[in-house]
Amino acid sequence: MSSRRNFILQTAMGLAATTVAPLATVAGTAVARPQAKDLPVGMAGYTFAKFDLEKAIAMMKRVNITNISVKDIHLPLNSSPEKIQRVLEQFKAGGIHVYGVGVIYMKSEKAVDDAFAYAKRVGVPLIVGVPNPELLDYTEAKIKEYNIRLAIHNHGPEDKLYPGPKNVYDLIKKRDARMGICLDIGHAQRAGEDPARAIVAYKERIFDLHIKDVTEGSNKGKATEIGRGVIDFAALIKALRKIKYSGYSSIEYEKDMTDPLPGIAESAGFFRGVIKTVS
């Protein structure tokens, strides 16, 4: 059954539960409904790669998404303190919370140094990054030095470093607890890993989520609006609640990056609907 059909079924069940709730209460049994606030929605900054900061903020306001992991497109790694302050003030004025930075690629020790120094200047507790595996010892030392968490991003079957979350987990499971995973659910599905199962399997290391949908679970899968693809979002939400996930679920819309607003709006609406409906 597709995720969209699952959602329709769950919605009908939710409406039924709402209808009978007064009777249940009279009988002395309260019916608990899911709360949307336990899984805050965010935005992966890469979504706005083709837009300036003002337009990116305007689009986020249109869809009422108030959390972002900012990409270096809008806040370069070599930004001056003045530039950082201006950008952060722009986000704040738009009612947007910058919770992390990235994705940042780290192919040398200097790149690792630059990433952690940058995150400290921006004042965020999380880097979404891709350090080369041979740099993990060095990166772990920087995590300890800066007390900044790192969430390693998986990029699908084409990625030679970290195709799926298991590839990340196997390399970090015995390392510092502040080294974890940014689970890109679309790329995980394309790499042959079910996102809901991955969330449960690697629960203590899931720090961040990039939320998207794909047309099929293989390297032929293409990005599409959330709910139109093959990912089971009801199962995803159940898994997140099972592990008591406390991070952000950040939409990364890549189907049409020259005109993303309609797709972001549809994706956000569907995803929020699942959050509110599925127990």
pLDDT at 37: 63
Q: Which two tokens stand for residue 105?
A: 């690629």
pLDDT at 279: 79
pLDDT at 15: 36
Helix (H) or strand (E) holding 11: helix 3-26
CA distances 43 to 211, 248, 261, 265, Å, are 9, 9, 12, 12
This prediction's pTM: 0.87
pLDDT at 38: 82
C-alpha to C-alpha distance for 190 and 204, rounded to whole angstroms: 23
pLDDT at 191: 97
Q: What is the dihedral of CA 102, 108, 113, 115, to 10 degrees?
A: -10
Domains of the chain: 3-277 (3.20.20.150)
Helix (H, G, I), strand (E, B) or coil at 162: coil
Name the nearest CA neighbour of 5 among 192, 253, 276, 229: 229
With a cut of 70, which residues of the chain have pLDDT below it? 1-37
pLDDT at 40: 97
C-alpha to C-alpha distance for 42 and 65, rounded to whole angstroms: 6
C-alpha to C-alpha distance for 46 and 103, rounded to whole angstroms: 8
Name the nearest CA neighbour of 103 among 167, 162, 174: 162
C-alpha to C-alpha distance for 272 and 11, rounded to whole angstroms: 12
